[in-house]
Amino acid sequence: MRIPFRDPGWVDTVVAGVVALGLAASILALRVFGTSELAVIPTESWPWSSESVGVDGVGSQSQFRAGDRVAGMDGIPMSTWVADAVGPPWVEPPARLGEVVRFDVLRDGTATTLEVPLQPFPVDRFGSAPLSLIIYGAGVLVLALVLMLRRTRSTALRLLFVGAAANVADITAWELGLQPTDFGLPGPMLALFGAASLFNIVFWSTIVHILTIYPVRSPLAVRRPAVIPAIYVAPLVAFFGLVAIAWLAGGTSLDRVDRLAACMALVGSGMLVVIVAATIAGYRRTYGIRRRQVRWIAATLLFAAGATLVLLTLPIVLTGRPLVPRSTVSFLVLPVPIALAVAVIRDRLFQVGLLSRSREQIVAAREEERRKLRRELHDGLAPTLAGVGIKLDLARRAVRDDPAGVETLVDEARVALREAIAEIRRMSRDLRPPALDALGLEGALREHAAGLATQAADAPVIIVEVPEPLPALPAAVEVAAYRIAVEALMKAVNPPSRAVMQWGVHACMLLVAGFMLGYGVHLCQVTWGNTIAEFPSLSTGVVYMPIPIGGLLTLLFIVEKIWLGEPPRDDIMYSDAPADLE
């Protein structure tokens, strides 16, 4: 692994990733080390109105209840606090919040006042984050980081890392949410939250960029290089344009903040439509083995984009609320990183320098074949011939003194010589089957098929059809074609019991994977609120997370194996050479 420090693209990737992850860490630190009124504005419903904002209580000590609406703080309306918070920084705030804040709250239609002391942010708020959202964000980030470090010059992997880091920033901001006091206390929380929202657009843009250049570069991007910058600039310009329109539409500052979610959802919906179109276009312009490699990625990406569009972004645009919680959508998009991981492990997806790697493998195979031949000559054939020579020397010396013993020595030498000749013929057949030289490719295949047909009374009838006339093939291609055909014939005449046993193994593994997935999810849900005595901040459900993850990975692997068949023999799972893993 070589880090290209002088590559501007690598530097830009690292800077973008560090900024996004630093943004997420800053938001997290402000919450952990800051103060809180134990109330949060839910980002799922974004409950803003002209005069108040909805909140949910956080922790068991909170004075707020789910559905409460905060209309003011310390006797000043929330619209004034919000207008000052989003206004110019040189404007004096309407007041300063103290250690105890008086909230004007509407609870079940009745106005009430709550005297709430500010205290440390409750740690159990972090434990309430959806499990699927944690797995999705962390899984994609770790996978992208590992792949990028292994393939440092791959543009697609760099984009994947930037998109994963941007997604982590967006998830962190929207899961921790805003508090009413964020609009009254000094600090960068509002600016960080807004920047994290913009990284959501960057996340969608990186996905479109990846689909534009991978697996086959789009002809439009080749003809017009300006398309790539437009992928990032156009959504941001559209978002700020929508924000300007929403701001000029009038209403209180709370109304304007309420429209921001619709603006973000509208841009997100447009990006999702572009992602669906780019996925279909990229899959259609991909052929051969590359199409098989990206099939699962394309399917899961289409499903995830469609589910997000139908269940989350479009409903927010049309009704102001999503059809399902954000955590449910994150569970639906969870197969995307899992399919990517399976594809990387199975098919070496995103492998760069494929031609040079193939050449290296050819050279390595040739050298391995030469080492094997030398070993067989040195360790097998040479000692046998040396033994024959020794026996002949002994026979020559004993021809006068022990004529009867000479016959025994000659017989032993003859047997050893025959074994040596058989070994030489075997080595010759391994290098190149003699039937190819005697009968040609067609004749050798027909001879081998006839031999298989006579092995058993119930053997299948094998018909070998060769195009006429058969073109002249290089010796290496002829040997490769012969061995591929022989292996295919051997698989074709396998007894039916093999298929039955294979389906039985698949059924058993599916049962085990289903049990791990179902019981594991149930176990995580039941124990998510519990903690370990030695580690009070660690949820017991986190410890059990590998069970459903392993079950889901096993389930996907078995379904893929049944659908696509066995992996190719040059797959990484069949390799024992450490060099192939670098």
pLDDT tens by residue, 178-195: 999 999 888 888 999 999
- Identify the CA nearest to 416 among candidates 390, 393, 392, 385: 385
Residue 180 pLDDT:
92
Q: Does one domain contain both 347 and 247?
A: yes
Count CB neighbours of 429 within 10 A: 11
Helix axes 227-248, 189-213, angle to 10 degrees: 140
Alpha-carbon separation of residue 230 from 218, 234, 236, 245 (angstroms): 14, 5, 10, 22
Which H helix or E strand runs over 114?
Answer: strand 110-117
Q: What is the DSSP string of 435-458?
A: HHHHHHHHHHHHHHHHHHHTSSTT
Q: Are the CB atoms for 226 and 219 separated by under 8 Å?
A: no
Asked whether residue 440 falls in the same domain as residue 306, the answer is no
DSSP-assigned letters across all residues of 32-90 = HHSEE-SEEB-TTT--B-SS-EEEEE-STT-S--TTEEEEEETTEEHHHHHHHHTS-TT
- Secondary structure class of 104 (helix, strand, coil): strand
Query: Residue ranges of the chain with pLDDT lower than 70?
Result: 1-6, 90, 123-133, 288-289, 326-327, 330-331, 334, 337-338, 340-363, 365, 429-432, 452-461, 467, 469, 491-499, 563-582
Which DSSP category does 188 fall into? S
One domain, residues 144 and 193 = yes
Report the pLDDT value the prediction gives residue 564, as an integer from 0 to 100: 61
- Contact (Cβ atoms closer than 8 angstroms) between residue 391 and residue 409: yes
pTM listed for this prediction: 0.61
How many domains are contained in the chain? 4
Whether 565 maps to a domain, the answer reads yes
Domain final position from 294, 322, 352: 352
User: What integer pLDDT is reported at residue 132 of this predicted model?
Assistant: 60
CA–CA separation, 53 and 37 (whole Å): 15
Q: Do 438 and 425 lie in a common domain?
A: no
Three-state DSSP at 174 gives helix
Residue 92 lies in a domain: no
Is residue 39 assigned to a domain?
no
What whole-number distance in Å separates Cα of residue 179 and Cα of residue 173? 12
Report how far residue 171's alpha carbon sits from residue 168's, in angstroms, rounded to the nearest whole number.
5
Q: How far apart are CA 146 and CA 1, in angstroms?
A: 11
Judge whether 397 lies within some domain: yes
- Claim to verify: residue 244 and residue 343 sit in the same structural domain: yes
The pLDDT value given to residue 492: 65
Alpha carbon separation from 177 to 23, 36, 87, 180, 196 (Å, rounded) = 14, 12, 20, 10, 11
Residues 176 and 275 in one domain: yes
Is the bond preceding 117 in cis, omega lying within 30 degrees of 0?
Answer: no
Last residue of a domain, one of 352, 368, 387: 352
Domain limits at 406? 353-431
What 3-state DSSP class applies to 539?
strand
Nearest alpha-carbon partner for 137 in 113, 114, 164 = 164
Identify the residue whose tokens are 């004993």: 398
Find how far residue 530's CA is from the centre of its chain: 30
Same domain, 210 and 343: yes
CA 109 from chain center: how many Å? Answer: 48
Residues 403 and 475 in one domain: no
Q: Record the tokens describing residue 397, joined without a space.
A: 């010396």
Residue 562, in any domain of the structure: yes
Bond from prior residue into 120 cis (ω within 30 degrees of 0) = no
73 lies in a domain?
Answer: no
Using alpha carbons, select from 49, 326, 28 the residue that is nearest to residue 200: 326
**179 & 136 share domain:** yes
The answer to whether 116 and 72 have CB atoms below 8 angstroms apart is no
Gap between the Cα atoms of 426 and 429, Å rounded: 5
Type of residue numbered 251: G
Residue 329 forms part of a structural domain: yes
Claim to verify: residue 315 and residue 179 sit in the same structural domain: yes
Report yes or no: 176 and 28 within 8 Å, Cβ to Cβ. Answer: yes
What is the DSSP code (8-state) at residue 225?
Answer: T
**CB-CB neighbours of 564 under 10 Å:** 13
Phi first, then psi, for residue 72 (nearest 5°) are -170, 165
User: Comparing C-alpha atoms, which of 300, 340, 332, 295 is closest to residue 563?
Assistant: 295
- 553, 566: one domain: yes
316 and 328 belong to one structural domain: yes
Strand partners, 422: none
Query: DSSP character for 350?
Result: T
Largest CA distance in the chain: 129
Instruction: Please indicate, yes or no, if residue 169 is contained in any of the structural domains.
Output: yes
Residue type, 43: T
d(CA 276, CA 268): 12
Select from 326, 352, 378 the last residue of a domain.
352
Could you give the CA distance from residue 234 to residue 267 in angstroms, rounded to a whole number? 10
Beta bridge partners of 332: none
